[in-house]
Amino acid sequence: MRHYILLISGKVQGCHFRVSAKSKAESLGIKGLVKNLPTGEVYVEAEGPDERLEEFVQWCEEGPCFAQVKNVNIKEVALKGFKCFEVVR
């Protein structure tokens, strides 16, 4: 199990990135949260088994069909024990 913080930049707001990320995370059993930042970036905290977490990160590098991801900054931090994956407004 790992816990990553992802900071995703590009055209990632206004393209259903958060809802799509929640759907992808839930399909993989990833727990955490996703939210838009005032800077135009998307912030994600994701916890899960290594292989599934890596698959989720790969998805975030592409995003949903209308997104144009330029960069994904990844930082590993201590586990928090999230119970679900939620969209934070």
What is the Cα Rg of the chain in Å?
A: 12
pLDDT band at 49 (very low <50, low <70, confident <90, very high): very high
5 Cβ partners below 8 Å, 6+ apart?
A: 43, 44, 45, 74, 75, 76, 77
Instruction: Return mean pLDDT, the chain.
Output: 98
Instruction: Give the active site residue among 36, 71, 73, 89.
Output: 36
Fold entry, domain 2-88: Alpha-Beta Plaits (3.30.70)
Instruction: Give the active site residue among 18, 52, 71, 89.
Output: 18
Report d(CA 32, CA 40) in Å as an integer.
20
User: 57: helix, coil or strand?
Assistant: helix
Known catalytic residue: 89? no
% of the chain beyond a pLDDT of 70? 100
pLDDT band at 48 (very low <50, low <70, confident <90, very high): very high
Known catalytic residue: 73? no
Considering the entire predicted model, what is its pTM? 0.97
